[in-house]
Amino acid sequence: MKLLFIGMCDFSNAIGPLISLWLIGTTGVVSQKAPTPIFILLYGGVAISLGLCILGYRVIKTIGEDLTKITPSR
């Protein structure tokens, strides 16, 4: 369950600036409450999914091998 919440937080951090730029570009006004366009949420979900499918293995490899060097214990 914790991973789901972490993923939702990552998604909102990634797509939030895009939504605000789109709203400012279309309305010309900065507002604190505005409806979130569904197509931008779908775009963000597809973009994150494709990024994981294409480059996810490299991220896991970097974290698992290059970032932390594991040596056998004696």
**What is d(CA 23, CA 36) in angstroms, rounded to the nearest whole number?**
9
Name the DSSP letter for residue 63.
I
- Which has more confidence, 22 or 61? 22
Query: What is the length of the chain?
Result: 74
Q: What pLDDT, on a 0 to 100 scale, did the predictor assign at position 71?
A: 73
pTM comes to: 0.66
At 24-70, the pLDDT tens digits run 999 888 888 888 889 998 998 898 888 888 988 887 788 777 776 76
**What is d(CA 27, CA 73) in angstroms, rounded to the nearest whole number?**
61
